[in-house]
Structure 1
Amino acid sequence: MYIAITRQHLGDKYHGSASDFVKYLEKENEGKALEEQELFFNQTENDIDAQRVVAEIDANTSKLSKKDPKFYSIMVSPSQSELNHIGNDPEKLKEYSREIMKTYAASFYRDKEVTVKDVLYFAKLERERTYSEKDKKVKENQAYASKILELQHQVRAIKEGREQGDMAKLKEKIQVLETEAPHKQNGKRIVPGMTKEGHQSHIHIIVSRKDITNAHSLSPGSKFRTSETTLNGEKVKQGFDRDKFYRAAEKSFDRQFGYRRNFVETYHARNLLDKDPKQFFATLLGLPSNEKQAAKQLLFKAGVKVPSIPTNQAQLAYKTLMQLKKGIGKALESGSIGI
Structure 2
Amino acid sequence: MYIAITRQQLGNNFRGSVRDFVNYLEKENEGKAPGEQEHYFNQEENHIDVERVIAEIDANTAKLKKHEPKFYSLVVSPSQRELEHIGNDPQKLRQYTREVMKTYAASFYRDRQVTVGDIRYFAKLERERTYSEKDREVKENQAFASKILELQNRTRAIHEGREQGDVAKLREQIQALEKEAPHQLQGKRIVPGMAKKGHQSHIHIIVSRMDATNTHSLSPGSKFRTSETILHGVKVKQGFDRDKFYRAAEKTFDRQFGYRRNFVETYHARNLLDKDPKRFFTALLGLPHNERQAAKLLLFKAGINIPNIPVNKAQLAYKALMQLKRGIGKALESGSIGI
Shorter-normalised TM range: over 0.9
Whole-Å separation in 1 of the counterparts to 2:72 and 2:96 = 19
Instruction: Give the match for residue 116 of structure 2.
Output: 116
Paired amino acid for 2:172: E
CA 1:34–1:332 in structure 2 vs 1: closer, same or farther (change >3 Å)? Answer: same
Instruction: Give the match for residue 286 of structure 2.
Output: 286
Q: Displacement of 1:144 after TM fit?
A: 1.0
CA 1:323–1:71 in structure 2 vs 1: closer, same or farther (change >3 Å)? Answer: same
Instruction: Give the match for residue 310 of structure 1.
Output: 309
Whole-Å separation in 2 of the counterparts to 1:317 and 1:226 = 37
Residues 1:196 and 2:190 aligned together: no
CA contact (8 A) 1:265 1:337 kept: yes
Paired amino acid for 2:118: D
CA contact (8 A) 1:72 1:207 kept: yes
Whole-Å separation in 2 of the counterparts to 1:65 and 1:46 = 32
More off after superposition, 147-156 vs 43-52: 147-156
Whole-Å separation in 2 of the counterparts to 1:189 and 1:13 = 40
Paired amino acid for 1:310: I
CA 1:12–1:286 in structure 2 vs 1: closer, same or farther (change >3 Å)? Answer: closer
CA contact (8 A) 2:119 2:207 kept: yes
Residues 1:125 and 2:145 aligned together: no
More off after superposition, 149-158 vs 196-205: 149-158
CA contact (8 A) 1:16 1:66 kept: no
CA contact (8 A) 1:305 1:327 kept: no
Map 1:270-285 to 2 at 5 A.
Answer: 270-285=270-285
Whole-Å separation in 2 of the counterparts to 1:12 and 1:113 = 31
TM-score, normalised with respect to structure 1: 0.96
Instruction: Give the match for residue 231 of structure 1.
Output: 231
Whole-Å separation in 2 of the counterparts to 1:157 and 1:337 = 43
Whole-Å separation in 1 of the counterparts to 2:294 and 2:310 = 15
Whole-Å separation in 1 of the counterparts to 2:70 and 2:100 = 21
**For 2:113, what is the secondary structure of its paired residue?**
coil
Whole-Å separation in 1 of the counterparts to 2:315 and 2:237 = 48
Paired amino acid for 2:39: L
CA contact (8 A) 1:40 1:46 kept: yes
Instruction: Give the match for residue 262 of structure 2.
Output: 262
CA contact (8 A) 1:125 1:201 kept: yes
Structure 2: gaps of 5 or more residues: none
CA 1:309–1:267 in structure 2 vs 1: closer, same or farther (change >3 Å)? Answer: farther
TM-score, normalised with respect to structure 2: 0.96
Q: Displacement of 1:287 after TM fit?
A: 0.8
Residues 1:156 and 2:172 aligned together: no
Q: Deviations over 1:202-232 (max 9, x none)?
A: 0000000000000001000111111112222
Aligned pair count?
338
Q: Displacement of 1:163 after TM fit?
A: 3.2
Let me know the Cα RMSD of the aligned residues.
1.5
Q: Displacement of 1:91 after TM fit?
A: 0.5
Instruction: Give the match for residue 242 of structure 1.
Output: 242
Paired amino acid for 1:82: E
Instruction: Give the match for residue 53 of structure 2.
Output: 53
Whole-Å separation in 2 of the counterparts to 1:248 and 1:233 = 34
Instruction: Give the match for residue 186 of structure 1.
Output: 186
**For 2:210, what is the secondary structure of its paired residue?**
strand
**For 1:204, what is the secondary structure of its paired residue?**
strand
Q: Displacement of 1:80 after TM fit?
A: 0.6
**For 1:210, what is the secondary structure of its paired residue?**
coil
Paired amino acid for 2:124: K
Q: Displacement of 1:305 after TM fit?
A: 4.3
**For 2:74, what is the secondary structure of its paired residue?**
strand
Whole-Å separation in 2 of the counterparts to 1:210 and 1:84 = 36
CA 1:227–1:333 in structure 2 vs 1: closer, same or farther (change >3 Å)? Answer: same
CA contact (8 A) 1:109 1:238 kept: yes
Q: Which runs of 4+ in 1 moved over 6 A?
A: none
